Each structure stands twice: as C-alpha cells, then as structure tokens.
Chain A
Amino acid sequence: MKLDSNARYAESHEWVRKEGDLMVCGITDHAQEELSDVVYVELPEVGATFAKGEQFGVIESVKAASDLYIPMGGEIAEVNEALEDSPETVNEDPFGEGWMIKFKSSDPSQWDSLLAPEEYEASAGGE
C-alpha cells in the first residue's frame, strides 16, 4: 500500500502531516481503495473545533458512507473546497490534492501517540 513517510496515522485510516503551523489531514490510500469511487465528502465549517478522535465529517462512496475522525484535537483553519466538485481527487491523490482539512492543533504532543507509517501498514494490512 502507498504511504506518506512524512505523515502519521490513526487506526481509523486518517493521516496527518505538519505544514507550517497547521496540520493537514486526509484519508489513506488503503482507505480510498476500500471505499472505491468517492462520490461526496462532507466537511466541517472553518472555525469549528474538535477533540482528538471526534467525528469531523463523512465520506460517501456508492456502497458506503464512513465517518471521518480527526487524529489530533484542534480548530479548523481551511477545508478543501475543490472536493465538492471533484470528490474523485480523494481516490486519485489521497495524500496530496485529496487532503480534506487543515487545522491548528490544540495539543501538538498528540502527534507522538499516532502510528508511524510502518505501524499503520501493519495494522491495516492485518484487516
């Protein structure tokens, strides 16, 4: 499976990466493959705050609708509006253009408890 070596992972298949003083978040390649064609992504409003592990959105494919959980607590600074017209970007480039939210982390130390790329690969591969 494809992985981003700069990112860290949640067991619920979201990845998160540092970009300046914001964190960027999306879903993994493994997740998009399981979902198959993404048809819609429901994203939160800018300014909304979430605790670590809270649901921030929903991703829909033809056969499923899955909740999205934020890997670290924080306040939403930006959402990827391009996904409204082109939800398939999540399938095509899950770690790049398919990013979903950028947020200001409320507790940077939460980064340390996330899974490293190899750890995620092991846990997801076991599914």
Chain B
Amino acid sequence: MPYSPHTDADRREMLAAIGVSSVQELFHDVPESFRFPDLKLPKAASEMEILDELYAMALKNSTTGCFAAFLGAGAYNHFVPSVIPHLAGRGEFATAYTPYQPEVSQGTLQSIFEYQSMIAELTGMDVVNASHYDGATSMAEAAIMAVNVSRGRRRKVIVSPWIHPQYRHTLRTYLPGGQVTITGDENLRTNLDDLQGMLDDDAACLIIQNPNFFGELMDVDGLADAVHDAGALLVVVANPIISLGLLRPPGDYGADIVTAEGQPLGAGLNFGGPYLGVFAARKDYVRGMPGRLVGETTDTRGRRGYVLTLTPREQHIRREKATSNICTNQGLVALMAGMYLAYMGKGGLRAVAEMCYHKAHYTAAQIEQLDGYQVVNYAPFFNEFPVKCPKPVAEINSALLEEGILGGYDLQQDYPHAENEMLVCVTEMNTREQIDRLVAALAEIGAR
C-alpha cells in the first residue's frame, strides 16, 4: 500500500500494546452483515500507470491554449506568472492546515492579511474576508448578510438581470422557500431605473454586476444614494475583477458589499475550479460578515503577529446562529491571488487591464466593419462585448472551432431576446494575429 510506513513487526507490536490479536478485531462495533464489503474498483495502479491514464484522458481534451480563445463569461484566460505556482506549491503553504494555532501559522496568516489588504485597495472597501468559494456563492452570502443586517426585518433582494445567469441561479438555490423574495430579473430587460423603482421598506439590498454580464460599464451615478435613501444596501459584483485595475472601484461609488470572482488573479481556468470568492464590505458591517478574518495584533513580547479574529461569529462557536456555515474556504487560491496582485503590482495590474481594454476595443472596431455583424450597444465596455451575428451563435462557433478558434458565449441561451448575440471576450493573451484571424473567419463564415 503506498504512503504506508507500517511493517509486519510494527503491526505486531502495536496490536500487542492495544491488546488485540488482529486489526479486524478493532471493528467489532460495525454490524457484522455489513462489515468488510467488496469494493468494485479497478485494482491499484502504480505511479507510472496512473499518470499514463491521466495523460490519455488529457489527450481527449483540447486545451484553451490550442485555440485562439475569445470565451469569457465568468472564467477568464489570463497569464499566470511562473513564480505563483512555484511558491504557492511549496509544501509549507499547500499542506498546512487552517491557521487555528497562530504561533505556527504566521506564513498563512500574514499572507492572507496581505491578500485582505490588497483586495480592500482594489475594491475600495474597508474589510475583506479570507475568501469564499467563488463569485456566485459570495454574491449569495452577500444577499443573506444584507437581510441579517436588517435583523430580518427586510426580506426582499432586488437583483439585476444583467448579472451572470449562474450567479442568479445559485442565489435562488441558497434562498429557497420564499422566506426571502428575489425579484428584479423576472423580466430580463429590466434596467437600472426600473430596479431603483423597486426599492421600498422591504428591500434589504439591490445587487448589480459592473461591468455587467454583457460587458457594459454601468452608469452608477446616484445609484448608491437611491439605495441608501430606501434603507437598503448596495451590493456590487465586480466581474471581471481585472477591470478594477483600470476602473473606479465600487467602494468609490457607494457600494456596501463588493463580491467578485477572483479566478483571473493567478488561478488559471482549471475547468471551473478551484476558483475564489472575493467578499468585501464597509467596516460598519464587519461583525455581520461571513467567513474568516485575519487581524493584526501583538504577542507576549510585543512583536507584531496575525490571528484569526472575530471567530465567535463563525459556525464552530455560534453554530445555528452563525453568520454562515462556511468552514474550509479557498485559502490557497486567495494566497495565489495575493501573490498575483503583489507580483503584478501597481504598474502591472493597470498594464494588464489596459491591454485587455485596448485589444477588446480593437477587436470590436474590426468586427463592426464586417457585413452582417454588429457590435450591440457600442457603450463603454471593458473587455467583453456582445456581437449580433448573421447566423445562430452555435453555428458560427462550430465553424470557428474548425479554424482553431474558440468563439464567445451564446447569450441567447440565457437571454432569449439576445437573438444570435455572441459575447466576445479579449484578454492580454490574445495576440493581434489571433484577433485578425477571428475577424477574417467571422467574415468568411458570415458570407457562406
């Protein structure tokens, strides 16, 4: 058996010390008729064999890197600097436990404190937790937190339809049973003015995504004031998060809670996970925040150190009255995000964001010139924009795939009114050659 250090001699001595003659005797409490079942699993593979098996599986995939890829919609193809997996993969980080014994966890605690600080800076907020599962679940927990902040007196969550469909779906899974009303996205064309019109005494929060799922930068002038006047909280989903390298953060325009998908910050695509739920709030609400928090303090000799703090809010102490049930979160991914932000730094994050912006705008300008294609709502956007195509998106994407191009997201599958609209995403990973190839292919396919 791999990873097992026990020899026959060890086993004999240990059994003797316990006072039994076989290991099987230790299972006398297990009902006899169900003891020692035969597990029908393939027999053990050696290291060589399992790696062979996995390489064979990998060959059945086409990696995003095989294509000129223009697909975003909540998961983004960004460059991960080599230092990050190298350092995050160190056994001292990866095989450490949750830092409940702070004296032997200063590595984890300080790096998460740094992560909290950098995300606070990025989002313009006061307090950041040590991570949530992903962008969808952090949004759901923000809604729950808003209801709790009102001590349960406000039970309506107003949600913009221009938020990622999977996030809105997750929100409804988290809040089943009608104890809280989720409204605002029944009509998928509801705009910001309409949403503001839904504010009343029962509204706990209003949630928007900015840039929205269609890539547009929202006009948020006066939004926070309207929400606050109604006594509610403004929750902003800041996706894609790289946009905050260039754009005004939600903290600047009055957000009370900011959530986001942190995957673009060094996590890679990984077929959907592990990703990173970013969660930030105003300091007034710190005691209502779900998740772990790392705080700064001193030790018995006056030296600076870091600890998990405000822990009585959490499940292991507060149990059924906890702010959330979350225990294990996405610690190592948060570490990687902190590393990414520190490595790219002030100049780098802005540079990546600008590259995404300029390349996306070049792409849009080129596509706009094609017959049969139209960039929808040429409004301010960051790096994603919808294109109305002359044929169904599925057909276009099929043809693009044959040219080695991964096309954008088919918006019609979630928004029936967005007929033949493709959400195109461009990042710093797309070269001009790839973009020109996309445009040429679209022209050729449109003309068929």
Check A-B contact in the complex, CB < 8 A: yes
Q: Is the CB of B312 within 8 A of A64?
A: yes
Residue of B nearest to A66 (CB): B312
* Chain A residues near B310 (CB-CB < 8 A): 60
* Chain A residues near B312 (CB-CB < 8 A): 60-65
Chain B: residues with Cβ within 8 Å of the partner, total of 8
A40 and B317 contact, Cβ closer than 8 Å, known pairs A60-B312, A65-B312: no
* Chain B residues near A62 (CB-CB < 8 A): 311-312
A51-78 interface mask toward B, CB cutoff 8 Å, 1 = contact, 0 = none?
A: 0000000001111110100000000000
The contact of A42 among B287, B317, B318, by CB within 8 Å, is B287
B80-98 interface mask toward A, CB cutoff 8 Å, 1 = contact, 0 = none?
A: 0000000000000000000
Query: In the bound complex, what is the Cα–Cα distance between A64 and B317 (angstroms)?
Result: 6
* Chain B residues near A64 (CB-CB < 8 A): 312, 317
Q: Is the interface of A mostly helix, strand, loop or mixed?
A: strand
A81-94 interface mask toward B, CB cutoff 8 Å, 1 = contact, 0 = none?
A: 00000000000000
Query: In the bound complex, what is the Cα–Cα distance between A42 and B151 (angstroms)?
Result: 12
Residue of A nearest to B322 (CB): A65
* Chain B residues near A42 (CB-CB < 8 A): 287
Q: Kindly provide the distance from the CB of A70 to the nearest chain B CB, expressed in whole angstroms.
A: 15
Query: In the bound complex, what is the Cα–Cα distance between A60 and B318 (angstroms)?
Result: 10
Residue of B nearest to A40 (CB): B287
Q: Kindly provide the distance from the CB of B45 to the nearest chain A CB, expressed in whole angstroms.
A: 47
Q: Kindly provide the distance from the CB of B337 to the nearest chain A CB, expressed in whole angstroms.
A: 29
Residue of A nearest to B318 (CB): A65
Query: In the bound complex, what is the Cα–Cα distance between A67 and B319 (angstroms)?
Result: 12
Which 10 A-B pairs give the minimum distances between C-beta atoms? Answer: A65-B312, A60-B312, A65-B318, A64-B312, A64-B317, A65-B317, A65-B313, A40-B287, A63-B312, A61-B312
Residues of A in contact with B (beta carbons under 8 Å apart): 40, 42, 60-65, 67
19 contacts between A and B (CB under 8 A): A40-B287, A42-B287, A60-B287, A60-B310, A60-B312, A60-B313, A61-B312, A62-B311, A62-B312, A63-B312, A63-B317, A64-B312, A64-B317, A65-B312, A65-B313, A65-B317, A65-B318, A65-B321, A67-B321
Residues of B in contact with A (beta carbons under 8 Å apart): 287, 310-313, 317-318, 321
With A60-B312, A65-B317, A67-B321 already in contact, 7 other A-B pairs whose C-beta atoms are closer than 8 Å: A60-B287, A60-B310, A60-B313, A62-B312, A65-B313, A65-B318, A65-B321
